Amino acid sequence: MTGMDAIAVPEPAAVEIVALTKRYAPGTPAAVDAIDLRIAAGSYCCLLGPSGCGKSTTLRMIAGHESVSSGDILQGNRNITNLPAAERGTAMMFQSFALFPHLSALDNVAFSLKMKGMAKAERHRRAQDLLDRVAMGHLAQRKPGELSGGQQQRVALARALITQPRVLLLDEPLSALDPFLRIQMRAELRRWQKELGLTFIHVTHSQEEAMALADTMVVMNHGLIEQVGSPHQVYNHPASEFVARFMGGHNVLFTPAGPIAVRNDHMQVAPAESTPSGLLATVTDVEYQGTYVLLGLQLAEAPAGKAGVSVQLAEAAFDAQPYAVGDAVRLTWADAHARPLGPGAVRPDERQSAPPPAIDPATAPDAAALPAVAF
């Protein structure tokens, strides 16, 4: 590669958000409601949540593309809340990369330098350096239509990096791709983040994508943060019913001691006539998934609308004891697999009066005190 030092990747920056709020119109609910968040320098952070929960609004406020109603955004030791976008040390990579179709890869990458009035020779030299860096130097003259999806992603990355950002912001960058390409591209994004060592903040509504990419996952709901943690922490210790359901793969069960989550591969199932203990349920679906079989079930007793549960059985276990739609079964789980669920995020105006969560799911002794099936 050539001239690598000509366009050095700068030091990554930490981003801190303090009581950040966005209200698009007076009297409407806040799209982002006094959230606090610290994102470590050089980490891959995913903002995750259902459509409309405030992910893009948060990202656009960090980028400087959206004004802040109140609160602060700090980067490193600078308060960037009111800086123009171009002075923040951030760059944005958009959905499906949004390259200019009529420009070569080189001119796409050099575009923002052209806007700044940089002479052609110098901007081309810098753009070529960055294309080399993402292993695209040999295709610099191609137009986006002559490049594969992966190659386009690398051009888009080079284009974002040419402004020498300390934080790269990505808003659903993979959502327009077909599923196969999406999985390839996310592996590549992860690799580039590690290699460049920059802080990435990536918005997605896909829990699978966030799990695959993130050092830190931030689960949002209705403009609030429900949980922050590594994918392993969030998946294995969901803080609330919302997180357990949104992450998937969990059943939310209502015990006398409060709601719990149990992973559907941690549930045991037995024919109802074989045992008196456990929750009574009826099999409603049997889906063969290759390495496992997914049973859909309806609990005999559950709060309205919350009777649906699922059990993931290893193929061999299912073969040894097959179930069919309509079978009556009993469901049990080991105490150690029960995760007590907290009440979830509380809106700022309700925080004063709200009691603290009874149990911190991350530190609770794995609900050993909870009766697993004694109800």
Residues that bind Mg ion (CB under 5 A): 56
- Residues 6 or more apart whose CB falls under 8 angstroms from that of 28 comprise none
- Which H or E run contains 217? strand 216-221
d(CA 302, CA 138): 61
User: Which one of residues 34, 37, 56, 196 is an interface residue with ligand ADP (CB under 6 A)?
Assistant: 56
Minimum separation from the CB atom of position 94 to Mg ion (A)? 11
Residues 90-119 that bind ligand ADP (CB under 6 A): none
The interface with ligand ADP within residues 167-206 (CB under 6 A) comprises none
Residue nearest Mg ion (C-beta atom) = 56
The 216-221 sheet, strands edge to edge = 90-93, 167-171, 199-204, 44-48, 216-221, 224-229
Stretch that binds ligand ADP, among 51-59, 92-100, 247-255, 279-287 (CB under 6 A): 51-59
C-alpha distances out from residue 227 to 93, 111, 271, Å: 25, 39, 37
Q: End-to-end alpha-carbon separation of the chain, Å?
A: 67
- Would you say 175 or 236 has its CB closer to Mg ion? 175
- Sole window of 2-10, 34-42, 44-52, 121-129 interacting with ligand ADP (rule: CB under 6 A): 44-52
Q: How far is the CB of 298 from ligand ADP (least distance, A)?
A: 32
Q: What does 53 bind: ligand ADP, Mg ion, none (CB cut-off 5 to 8 Å by kind)? A: ligand ADP
* 67 contributes a contact to ligand ADP by CB under 6 A: no
Among 1, 8, 27, 51, binds ligand ADP (CB under 6 A): 51
Quote the CA–CA distance of 201 and 213 in Å, as a whole number.
11
SS3 241: helix
Q: Which does 57 bind (CB under 5 to 8 A by kind): ligand ADP, Mg ion, none?
A: ligand ADP
Q: Is 239 in the site for ligand ADP (CB under 6 A)?
A: no
- Considering the complex, what minimum distance in angstroms separates the CB of residue 53 from ligand ADP? 4
* Min dist. Cβ of residue 234 to ligand ADP (A): 17
| Residue 303 CB burial class (10 angstroms; 0-12, 13-18, ≥19) | exposed
Q: Identify which of 207, 138, 152 has the alpha carbon closest to the alpha carbon of residue 184.
A: 152
Quick check: 17 binds ligand ADP (CB under 6 A)? no
Give the nearer residue to ligand ADP in terms of CB position, either 175 or 184.
Answer: 175
| Residue 240 binding result from ligand ADP, Mg ion, none, given CB thresholds of 5 to 8 Å by partner type | none
**Nearer to Mg ion (CB atom), residue 95 or residue 184:** 95
Residue 310 interacting partner from Mg ion, ligand ADP, none (CB closer than 5 to 8 Å by kind): none
Which of ligand ADP, Mg ion, none is residue 250 near (CB under 5 to 8 Å by kind)? none
Q: Would you count residue 166 as binding ligand ADP (CB under 6 A)? A: no
Q: Which stretch binds ligand ADP (CB under 6 A): 54-62, 131-139, 236-244, 251-259?
A: 54-62
Which amino acid belongs to residue 118? M
For residues 202 and 44, the answer to whether their CB atoms sit within 8 Å is yes
Count of C-beta atoms within a 10 Å radius of residue 352: 7
Of 270, 320, 312, 278, whose CA–CA distance to 295 is shortest? 312
Q: Does residue 252 contact residue 260 with C-beta atoms inside 8 Å?
A: yes
The rounded distance, in Å, linking the Cα atoms of 272 and 247 is: 29
Q: Which is nearer to Mg ion, 56 or 128 (CB)?
A: 56
Of 241, 234, 196, the closest CA to residue 215 belongs to 234
Angle of CA points 298, 299, 301, to nearest 5°: 140
Q: Name which of 54 and 231 has its Cβ closer to ligand ADP.
A: 54
Of positions 43, 57, 152, 264, contacts ligand ADP by CB under 6 A? 57
The amino acid at residue 283 is: V
CA distances from 308 to 67, 240, 311, 314 (A): 42, 18, 11, 20
Q: How far is the CB of 307 from Mg ion (least distance, A)?
A: 32
> What residue spans of the chain are helical by DSSP H?
55-63, 105-115, 120-133, 149-161, 179-196, 207-213, 231-236, 241-247, 315-320
Nearer to ligand ADP, 48 or 261 (CB): 48
54 binds ligand ADP (CB under 6 A): yes
Give me the residues that bind ligand ADP (CB under 6 A), please: 24, 31, 49, 51-57
